Homo-oligomer: A and B are copies of this chain.
Amino acid sequence: MPVSIPESHLDLFEKKSIAYLAVHLSGDAMMVNPVWCSFDGTHVLVNSVEGRLKDRVMRKHPAVTLCITDPDNSFRYLEVRGKVAEITTEGALENINALAKRYLGADEYPYMRPGDVRVLYKIAPEKVNVMAM
């Protein structure tokens, strides 16, 4: 069973909160990149494109960590350690458009390129830490 996200920090999924996503590369290397994220009530969702490095490595290594930050306060954040429990194209385009609305105020994601297949990664939280300074 995924652990739940504390109510105190659910507002981070309504703000323009940048999540720093750590994924495993080969050997002991890790990649850390800023991403947009959302929440479906159980999973933290991130969105990428089929065939990109992030896509390829999350298919291989499901263990990921997100540090989801409050844009109004760098030292208020939610750290979610978990596993990619589902990878799907279903709803991925709707999700990236909803993220574009929230983060950019755009009606549609403006950086779509011909041939891009959007992918949704549903991350089941296993350990959650909050920091609220």
Residues A34 and B65 in contact, CB atoms below 8 Å apart = no
Number of this chain's copies in the complex: 2
On chain B, the residues within 8 Å of A77 by CB distance are: 34
A15 at the interface (CB under 8 A from B): no
Residues A30 and B34 in contact, CB atoms below 8 Å apart = no
Residues B28 and A67 in contact, CB atoms below 8 Å apart = no
Tell me, in angstroms, the Cα distance from A116 to B25 when the chains sit together. 35
A18 at the interface (CB under 8 A from B): yes
A99 at the interface (CB under 8 A from B): no
- Would you give the shortest CB distance from A17 to chain B, in whole angstroms? 10
Q: Of B24, B25, B66, B69, which is within 8 A of A34 by CB?
A: B69
On chain B, the residues within 8 Å of A66 by CB distance are: 32
